[in-house]
Amino acid sequence: MKIITTARDFRDLKLSTPIGFVPTMGALHAAHLSLIGRAVSENAVSVVSIFVNPTQFNDQRDFDVYPRPLEADLRKCEDAKVDFAFVPIADDLYFDDEVLLATPEMLGSILEGACRPGHFDGVLRVVLKLINIVSPTKMYLGQKDAQQLAIISKMVNDLFVNVEIVPCELIRESDGLAMSSRNALLSTDERVTALSLSKAVRYVEELCKHGERDVAVLQAAMIDAMMNVTKIEYAEIRRRDFSVTNVLDPGNSIALVAAFVGKTRLIDNMLL
Ligand code: AMP
């Protein structure tokens, strides 16, 4: 595996074969590795970027404590047979007085967008730069970040960006907790409390299977299931295009939750 640290060095590789790309912020876990495994097996060349992107953090503490085990991450990429790890530094990716992208008003102002002002602007900003540097044929994104997946897909569509988005299913720990780099920040007690998020979305899935269709009832059930967390940020059911609905439409709905457990903010979702 080759480690590349600048955009110029990446461009100089002049890769012409089909490239599979997985953008990450590092602290790689089994869910990342499942995306990476697909990128490796489905493309002639695979690239993983590791970059804790400062522009998408609306909370300085969250940025400061974000885990950065770079050496271990590079070993995991090497073991997974990744061809190139792209590990840029912020000064190399960002410029003064930049041309900026704006998040779409509807999709960008709800849920994560409402709780984390500026977050998606930073995500789009870095992802478009990474796409332009790496020139991937396919880019692998996780359903764990459902709204991010929708907004990046919309950017690719709206700006005619030449890449195929490959959505990858949400991967959970054996007890149901959605895998996340932030799970490493949880204490033993918080790790137990964090299960409330997956329990909430699974409970709603169960209620849905038993015929409950009233979104207000289902949202109230999710909030009840998360009563022990430090702070619920949202617990909502929407159509899969993120529009609001009062009646759940099975096969076209998604339950989404976000909550603080201690100082750590976690998210989860379930397609319904
Ligand atoms: P991150 O390093 O958190 O920015 O994540 C990098 C990519 O991995 C994103 O496309 C995430 O959606 C995806 N990802 C992270 N956790 C999971 C998970 N538990 N299941 C599926 N995809 C995930």
pLDDT in tens, 27-59: 999 999 999 999 999 999 999 999 999 999 999
| CA dist., res. 81 & res. 97, Å (int) | 38
Category of 65 on φ-ψ map: left (φ > 0), alpha (ψ -120 to 50) or beta:
alpha
Pocket test for ligand 1, best of 50, 168, 183 (most atoms within 8 A of CB): 168
* Cα dihedral sign, 39-41-46-52: positive
| Total-model pTM | 0.97
- The residue-averaged pLDDT of 154-169 equals 98
Give the phi and the psi of residue 49 in degrees, each rounded to 5.
-100, 145
CB of 141 within 6 A of ligand 1: the answer is yes
Residue 214 Cα, ligand 1 centroid: separation in angstroms?
30
Number of other residues whose CB lies within 10 A of the CB of residue 228: 11
CB of 25 within 6 A of ligand 1: the answer is yes
CB of 32 within 6 A of ligand 1: the answer is yes
Task: Evaluate if residue 17 carries a pLDDT over 90.
Answer: no
What's the confidence (pLDDT) of residue 16? Answer: 82
Query: Three-class SS of residue 49?
Result: strand
- Which atom from ligand 1 is nearest to the alpha carbon of 171? 20
Give which of 165, 108, 99 is closest to 131, Cα–Cα. Answer: 165
User: Quick one: tokens of 18?
Assistant: 């089909």
- Which atom from ligand 1 is nearest to the alpha carbon of 23? 6
CB of 115 within 6 A of ligand 1: the answer is no
Q: Are 200 and 208 in contact (CB under 8 A)?
A: no
Enumerate the active-site residues: 32
Dihedral angle of Cα 164, 29, 272, 145, to the nearest 10 degrees: -60
Of all protein residues, the one whose alpha carbon is nearest to atom 12 of ligand 1 is 142
pLDDT in tens, 109-159: 999 999 999 999 999 999 999 999 999 999 999 999 999 999 999 999 999
Give which of 91, 88, 154 is closest to 120, Cα–Cα. Answer: 154
CB of 179 within 6 A of ligand 1: the answer is yes
Spell out a b/e string for 200-221, using b for 16 or more CB atoms within 10 Å of the CB, else e.
bbbbbeebbeeeeeebeebbeb
| CA dist., res. 192 & res. 175, Å (int) | 10
Sheet bearing 164-168, strands edge to edge: 2-4, 84-86, 45-50, 19-24, 138-142, 164-168
